[in-house]
């Protein structure tokens, strides 16, 4: 069994209003923040035989549902 973390983040140059607003709020709380960007993590448990299969399957999931290729990059981390 493998646990896989997938981070879905916005591509460079794509507006990230959630990040911008969070930065603003942190600034108002007195934190000096240079940049904030938002991302999403999906933690997926798979019953596959090896690490390679886990990576392949999750890659397919990203292409079919988890990420939109127009605005998202994704990073797969198998534990």
Partner 1 sequence: MGENGMKNSDIKICILRIEGTNCEDEMYYSFERLGAKPELVHLKQLIKRKNLFDYHCLMIPGGFSTGDYVRAGAIFAALIKSRLVKEIKKFVEEGYPVGGVCNGFQVLVELGLLPGFDRKMNVEAVLTINDSNRFECRPTLLKHENNGNSVFTKKIKKGKILMLPSAHAEGKFLFPKNREKKYLKRLIDNDQIVFRYVNEKGECAGYPWNPNGSFYNIAGICNPEGNVFGMMPHPERVFYRWQHPDWTRTNLKNLDGDGKVVFESVLEYIRKRF
Nearest 5°: CA angle at 21, between 13 and 42? 70
CB 23 within 8 A of CB 73: no
The 3-state DSSP composition of the chain as helix, strand, coil percent (nearest 5) reads 35, 30, 35
Per rule CB under 8 A, is residue 50 in the interface with partner 1? Answer: no
- State the nearest-atom distance from the C-beta of 50 to partner 1, in Å: 26
Per rule CB under 8 A, is residue 21 in the interface with partner 1? Answer: yes
Q: Which stretch binds partner 1 (CB under 8 A): 26-34, 51-59, 69-77?
A: 69-77
Name the residues that contact partner 1, by CB under 8 A: 11, 13-15, 17-18, 20-21, 64-66, 68-71
């Amino acid at each position: 069994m493998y646990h896989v973390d997938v981070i879905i983040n916005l591509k460079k140059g794509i507006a990230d209003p959630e990040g911008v607003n969070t930065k603003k709020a942190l600034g108002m709380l007195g934190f000096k923040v240079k940049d904030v960007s938002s991302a999403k993590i999906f933690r997926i448990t798979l019953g596959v035989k090896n690490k390679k299969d886990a990576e392949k399957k999750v890659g397919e999931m990203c292409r079919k549902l988890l990420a939109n290729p127009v605005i998202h990059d994704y990073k797969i981390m198998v534990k």
